[in-house]
Amino acid sequence: MTPLVSRGWVASWRCVRLGCLMIAEAAVGTVVGLALLLLPTGIGFSLLPPAATALRSLSDRSRALATSWSGTEINPPDPLAVDPVTRRRTQVGAILTDEGFWRDLLWSALDPIVGGVLVCLPPTLIVHGAFGVLVQPFLWRQIIEANGGDWWYTFMPVTDTATMLAALALGAGFLVTGVLLAPALLRLHSRWSRVLLAAPRSTELARRVAWLTDTRSDALGTQAAELRRIERDLHDGAQARLVAMGMTLDSATRLFAVDPDAAYRLLVEARETSNRALDDLRNLVRGIHPPVLADRGLGDAVRSLALDCVLDVHIESRLAGRFAPPVESAAYFAVNEVLTNAAKHSGAREVRIVLEHDGGVLRITVTDDGHGGADSSLGTGLRGVRRRLATFDGALRVHSPMGGPTIVTMELMCALSSPKTSSF
């Protein structure tokens, strides 16, 4: 009950603040409208840019409040292209062709009315209810007198003590309703704000295209670099060893008749070279797509990483199925990098890894008990992980206060396929 009430109070106070913001909206909106009307006279040209900028900062404020108070994310439109260096005419042109500006203006006209009703309701109920509970019971005689013998509390005629008590109960009802209603109305207002204030669809799509272009070129770059590395590793590793082995075998063949002992030694050497070539190939495969990952999926592959890690790693995998191979691979190498970092730099002894899939998002949380102070902007490793995750609309967040603990959260958008059924 108590948290419900305190939440209600906070929300009611926020409603009051939103109400104040609406008065400002209406005022600035009026100035903007005036500036538009005055454009033909020329005064509008100097008035519109500052007024439009002020209106935008109000709408930005409203978006920020919706996010922080109700968790409603509202994508902002592109910033107003008002550059004070350019000529007034250019600035006004930019404002008038900006879709976001017109939406701001519409918002400043509609929000004080529709939104005003929503956010004024709780404070009004509370003040009116408080009057009925705290003032009216003590002053009802004086009020009746002042009103010339006839006085109503809302729809309740107050004439004697009994009706006064009924009015008191009614007031208490208003008070409680106001407090309890406030959070819901605040949320409703946030949603209403999103309808008016979200970036135009075209802007959202343009942003999406820019993001996809960026991440695609990153992905292609990473892939090309990977292929170059594989080519180089093959060339310097297995391929070179096979050539050496061929030469050794050739010498052994020539020596076979003359010096069987030397030939025998060369054959032993050839066998060792073949083993090393196999080692090289194995390491290469592990670097491309680890066999455990292919066989068992992300959960067991991370378990395998943990077994090779110097730290004590506890794993909680809540994954019931498999992801697409590229997703598994990106997630695996990301965890590997984070674990390596923890082992090298954090001074931690224990690490906890939680893998979960919820609402189309694969979330991996790696928590270590080290000394903290890790910075994701440092370190090429984590930067690489971030780039790799971006291809899957993923993100990497590092929370690492001085003194620890360090929490690295990685998220990837992906679908979970049905669990693989084993034949045993």
Q: Is 324 in the site for another protein (CB under 8 A)?
A: no
Torsions phi, psi of 127, nearest 5? -65, -45
Beta strands in 83-186 (DSSP E): 152-153, 156-157
Compute the C-alpha angle 398/401/407, nearest 5°: 35
Phi and psi (nearest 5°) for 354?
Answer: -115, 125
The residues pairing with 162 across neighbouring beta strands, listed in sequence order, are none
The radius of gyration of the chain's CA atoms, rounded to the nearest angstrom, is: 35
Count of residues in contact with another protein, rule CB under 8 A = 23
Nearer to another protein, 150 or 308 (CB): 308
Nearer to another protein, 47 or 355 (CB): 355
Scanning 82-90, 180-188, 208-216, 280-288 for contacts with another protein by CB under 8 A, the matching segment is: 280-288
CB atoms within 10 A of CB 40: 9
The residue from 294, 320, 324, 378 that contacts another protein (CB under 8 A) is 294
Nearer to another protein, 80 or 245 (CB): 245
Closest CA to 390 of 222, 207, 203, 218: 218
Instruction: Decide if 238 contacts 281 (C-beta within 8 A).
Output: yes
Residue number with CB closer to another protein (216 or 282): 282
CB of 256 to another protein, least distance (A): 20
**422 counts as binding another protein under rule CB under 8 A:** yes
Assess 295 for contact with another protein (CB under 8 A): yes
Which residues neighbour 291 within 8 Å (Cβ) at sequence distance 6 or greater?
285
Looking at the Cβ atoms of 91 and 273, the one nearer to another protein is 273
Stretch that binds another protein, among 14-22, 66-74, 274-282, 406-414 (CB under 8 A): 274-282
The residue range among 43-51, 71-79, 186-194, 299-307 that interacts with another protein, by the rule CB under 8 A, is: 299-307
User: What's the CA gap between 120 and 128, in Å, rounded?
Assistant: 12
> Which of these segments, 137-145, 162-170, 307-315, 383-391, binds another protein (CB under 8 A)?
307-315
Q: Which stretch binds another protein (CB under 8 A): 44-52, 112-120, 291-299, 324-332?
A: 291-299
User: Least Å distance between CB 363 and another protein?
Assistant: 23
Return the DSSP state at 417. Answer: B
* Residue 285 makes contact with another protein by CB under 8 A: yes
* 296 near another protein (CB under 8 A): yes
User: Would you say 167 and 136 are in contact if contact means Cβ atoms under 8 Å apart?
Assistant: yes
- Residue among 57, 86, 161, 275 that touches another protein (CB under 8 A): 275
Phi, psi of 331 (to 5 degrees): -65, -40
418 binds another protein (CB under 8 A): no
Select from 284, 292, 407, 413 the one that contacts another protein (CB under 8 A).
292
The CA distance from 18 to 218, in Å, is: 43
Pull the structure tokens for residue 318: 């809540």
* Pick 51 or 301: Cβ nearer another protein: 301
3-state secondary structure of 152: strand
Angle at 50 between CA 45 and CA 53, to 5 degrees: 125
Q: Which of 320, 297, 291, 300 lies closest to 416 in space, CA to CA?
A: 320
Q: How far is the CB of 340 from another protein (least distance, A)?
A: 13
Q: State which of residues 67, 163, 251, 304 lies at the interface with another protein (CB under 8 A).
A: 304
Q: How far is the CB of 381 from another protein (least distance, A)?
A: 19
Which amino acid belongs to residue 313? V
Q: Which of 282, 314, 318, 383 binds another protein (CB under 8 A)?
A: 282
Taking the complex as a whole, the smallest distance from the CB of residue 419 to another protein amounts, in Å, to 14
How many Å is the maximal CA-CA distance in the chain? Answer: 136
Question: Beta strand 361-368 with 406-413: parallel, antiparallel or unpaired?
Answer: antiparallel
Q: 378: Cβ–Cβ under 8 A, 6 or more apart, which residues?
A: none
Assess 291 for contact with another protein (CB under 8 A). yes
Work out which of 87, 271, 314, 397 binds another protein, going by CB under 8 A. Answer: 271
User: Measured from the CB of residue 70, what is the shortest distance to another protein in angstroms?
Assistant: 45
Question: Which residue from 166, 168, 170, 169 is spatially nearest to 138, judged by alpha carbons?
Answer: 168
Helix (H, G, I), strand (E, B) or coil at 217: helix
For another protein, which is the closer residue by CB, 278 or 378?
Answer: 278
Residues in contact with another protein by the rule CB under 8 A: 271, 274-275, 278-279, 282, 285-286, 291-292, 294-296, 300, 303-304, 307-310, 422-424
